[in-house]
Amino acid sequence: MSARVRKFFTYLLILVFGVLLGGGFYQVLPSQADTVPNDSVIAQNVPETETPSRQSITNRFVSFAVEQVGDAVVRIDTEKVVTQTNPFADDPFFRRFFGDDFFQNVPRERRLRGQGSGFIVDSNGIVLTNAHVVKQADQVSVNLKDGRTFNGKVLGADSVTDLAAIKIEGNDLPTAKLGNSDEVRVGDWAIAVGNPLGLDNTVTLGIISTLNRPSAKVGIPDKRLDFLQTDAAINPGNSGGPLLNDRGEVIGINTAIRADANGIGFAIPVNKAKSIYPRLVEGKNVSHPYIGIRMVTLTPDLAKEINNDPNSGLLIPEVEGVLVMQVQQNTPAEQSGLRRGDVITKIEGTRITSAQQLQRLVENSNVGERLNFTVRRGNQMETVAVYPAELDDFS
């Protein structure tokens, strides 16, 4: 073989060896990544169906929240017997016209059935619901999601806060986790679970649209509550069921709707229920301090309007506070010397700017505890000592 041919083959071998060496180095690089922690590389090697991504969990947060509490939500069926009276039964004219047999055959009793929701808070069978769900019920049945039905006994009910506790005979029952309603903010997710219109295990989604909505502004003046307001769909039958946050914790108890509005529902904050239901379980009354006035939030503009009305009979100082419109007879307010036309500006040194704030302060006081009211009476400032009594004593 000539020297030129040998030289050609030598160059060719060198070229081939170089190509093979370069190709081998290129294939080594990816394997180095295996020794470096990198979530994105690991994820590429795992089928998407085997490990749910964080995004998929976020998109299904309602499902995850409901799964935390779903088995603890119950349907409550009630029945009560109502005795009917016939207004014509004792009228001689109608008895002669229809005959005695007609009135004897008229049914004197009928059974009224109702339905609501609730949730189990103790594995030994304590159920929370609304007082109006079980009001005057002769028979209470509690139905679990798994098909079991229990007879329920109402341990206690408080109409002022619309809360009731029921006992069922069971062990190791599923329970709902109670959250903290003080941490709730406007715009948070709100998930309502219950049995509206007889449709069991219904879930609706919305947000918290307002905090601390006074029951008086909702149109329920006989309650003493500051509601959570939500646009999650609530219908008859949802009463007593839980309102959940996005973690499946109970933040409220669904209780009321506005008949003249859509997308507005109200729930009792769960912290209120947590402070009351232990007394209900023990069969004890819940204390509600009462002073006995009708009142309205006063602003300078409202004071001007009242003063310009010749029929008001009042001359009101144009200040902020709470105007006493009426003092009920034989109440702590009358006994303390409060008068119609007084403007309450402070209680125990705390400035008062609304009727709701005053009611909240009285509600959080104790029966028989002295409360010092700072009152504007005409041009004079006075201090009036008021001793709240028990609301039930005046019902």
* Residues annotated catalytic, as ranges: 132, 162, 239
Picking from 309, 310, 176, 195, the residue whose alpha carbon sits closest to that of residue 247 is 176
Return the half-sphere exposure (C-beta side, CA atoms, 13 A cut-off) of residue 78.
25
Beta-carbon count within 10 A of 265 CB: 28
HEC sequence for 66-87: HHHHHHHEEEEEEEEEEECCCC
The whole-angstrom separation of Cα 382 and Cα 373 is 8
Round to whole Å and give the CA distance between 356 and 358: 5
DSSP element (H, E) containing 284: none
Residues in CB range of 363: below 8 A, 6 or more apart: 224, 288, 289
User: What is the spatial distance between Cα 204 and Cα 196, in angstroms, rounded to a whole number?
Assistant: 10
Instruction: Name residues whose C-beta falls within 8 Å of residue 248's C-beta, 6 or more positions apart in sequence.
Output: 64, 65, 66, 67, 68, 69, 177
Spatial contact of 229 and 264, defined as CB atoms under 8 Å apart: yes
Residue-by-residue DSSP string for 35-68: GS--HHHHHHTS-TTTS--HHHHHHTHHHHHHHH
Strand partners, 128: 119, 165
